Structure 1
Amino acid sequence: MYGPFIRHRRGKFTPDWLHLASVRLLCEQGILEHSNDVLKQLTELDRLRPGSWATGLGNSSQIANTSETSQNKDWAGVEGVWRQLVIWMGYEALVEFQHDKNNYSLVEHRSTHIVVPLYLHVVSYEDDPHGSPLFPIIHFEGQIGGEGWHVDPEPQHGLDIHPVEGKVCMLSDGSVRWSLISYTDIAKKEKEWRSEGVQIGGIGSMAGVLGTWTGADYDPDDPIGGWWRWKVA
């Protein structure tokens, strides 16, 4: 498994929180430049509360105690409108950092970031063979704005928009994993980017999801970066 995870015995994975903490520091700087109000909202302690964005769900204890199956419920609050900050290092800065890995100012001052809209809807649920029936794997599709996106309204014809698909599942320690792939074309013939992330706070918290991204085929020459995704509607 690629992404901000630690592999354990018997093929189990848990989040690499040290890695994610570093990603968060870089993303915070980008969000601060985008909107100080957004950063304040995302870092409020109350936003770590479980269930604060999941439709029809209260908190994680309510979910665990319910007698109803979540087979037809979006327990992770996937469906809706999101914003995502994407951050990366340009090729020149990345090469320079490879030759001077102690110069962390390169990462801080030579990184690039954008904030793009993301629209997701659930397409199916799948029983998780390694997890609880209360938390099935959620498969989703949607659209994301690309680097050429400069406005916030609903997607319109001719803008830099890319189809996406992915899934949300629960890891062995109860953390929530988000996986997403974007495509270069509407027909989904060519994959472009792949991202892996982890829910911050409780299940469905409004603190959002943090993660890393790279090329869809994990080519050694692909760029790498981090992202922070939060729900707005």
Structure 2
Amino acid sequence: MSPSRSRYTGSYPYACSMVYDLRNYTDETMWGPFLDQQATVDWEKMEAVMIVLQYHLHGHNNYVMQPPWLGASVDSFKSVLLPKIGTASLPSNPDDPYDVTGSWIRVVCFLDYQELSHYNFGHDDILPEEPRGSLYKPQSIRLIMMKLQVTKIEEADSGDGQVAPVVYFEGTSRSLHIPQNANANSNIRGSVRQTSEGEIRWTTYSIYNGEERWKSEGIQVGGPRSSGSVMGHWFDRDMDPHGPVGPTMFWKVSNNINDLPGDELVVRMGAWTADYESEGEWEENGEDDEGGLVIYT
């Protein structure tokens, strides 16, 4: 997909620069949108992720039924009832404060690996503290349906600084537009926990043939049980300093888990998600007067 739209053209190349500069992926920040190993949120990185993904989501309205940051507040999530075909809806786990079990839509963007390599290693005259130039290159997008179930709940680690438990989950991750491609589908596992700041941190692992390949770190905008997205970075499981890396986000659509194929499922979801459109409105250019991203609640 070539970046040809006028929306975000002012901030988009600089957001791409932050997202794809490999110097922003370090052990100190756990390769996520963080400032340190305590998962202190780096909101500048989060904004860059939002700008890049929203830019590429424009034009995929058949799949994305609501602005993914609509309802960025605690307990704002409203489950839609998916068609009663396939797996029955699982009851919510009363011990899970994050409401993990259910169906989620995920978006992943990535830059061609040669472009990523050239951008990061093709210029020897960049000082370590100097930002790289703006980046305006085509990117690919993947739209994914995740079906997650809670598998274990434990007390918080002593380092979390919070009393909320750690919730572990497993599930499946299936492409919405190339479901026949085995490389686009995987099993998934991960955890959700509260940080010392009180933010909700999600960690996921994508598993192919029993082996972990990709990992992601993100923060749920709006807090627990919000309809806002979990946004952050995906990267190689072994944290390869040469990449690949990219932005990702996912948001819950239903407490129900359904076995319908992705395309048919999303089409049927349209009738149930219409209520969201009347409760919030996305500003036409997606930015405020100072170039920041506007979030409606």
TM-score, structure 2 normalization: 0.61
* Cα distance change on mapping 1:23 and 1:175 into 2, 3 Å: same
Q: Return the index of the structure with the highest Cα Rg.
A: 2
* Structure 1 runs (4+) greater than 4 angstroms displaced: none
Give, in angstroms, the shift of residue 51 of structure 1: 1.1
For structure 1, which runs of at least 5 residues remain unmatched after alignment?
56-70
Give, in angstroms, the shift of residue 151 of structure 1: 6.2
1:131-183 deviations in Å (ceiling 9; x for gaps):
444x100000001125xx5268xxx9x79531111100000000000000111
Give, in angstroms, the shift of residue 202 of structure 1: 2.7
Aligned counterparts, 1:66-81, within 5 A? 72-81=94-103
* Cα distance change on mapping 1:116 and 1:37 into 2, 3 Å: closer
CA contact 2:169–2:190 (8 Å) conserved in 1: yes
2:188 corresponds in structure 1 to 164
In the alignment, the residues of structure 2 paired with residue 136 and residue 96 of structure 1 have an alpha-carbon distance, to the nearest angstrom, of: 43
What is the percentage of aligned positions where both structures have the same residue? 28
In the alignment, the residues of structure 2 paired with residue 25 and residue 224 of structure 1 have an alpha-carbon distance, to the nearest angstrom, of: 16
Select the residue among 177, 184, 192 that pairs with 1:150: 177
Aligned counterparts, 1:197-212, within 5 A? 197-212=218-233
Aligned counterparts, 1:72-151, within 5 A? 72-98=94-120, 99=122, 101-106=132-137, 110-130=138-158, 131-133=161-163, 135-146=164-175, 150=177
Give, in angstroms, the shift of residue 29 of structure 1: 1.2
1:212-231 deviations in Å (ceiling 9; x for gaps):
01111111233100111011
Select the residue among 185, 191, 200 that pairs with 1:176: 200
CA contact 1:183–1:193 (8 Å) conserved in 2: yes
1:9-31 deviations in Å (ceiling 9; x for gaps):
xx533111101110110010122
Which protein has greater RCO, CA pairs closer than 8 Å, 6+ apart? 2
CA contact 2:72–2:226 (8 Å) conserved in 1: yes
Q: Number of aligned pairs?
A: 200
Select the residue among 27, 30, 50 that pairs with 2:74: 50
Q: Which has the higher strand share?
A: 1
In the alignment, the residues of structure 2 paired with residue 212 and residue 206 of structure 1 have an alpha-carbon distance, to the nearest angstrom, of: 19
CA contact 1:72–1:125 (8 Å) conserved in 2: no
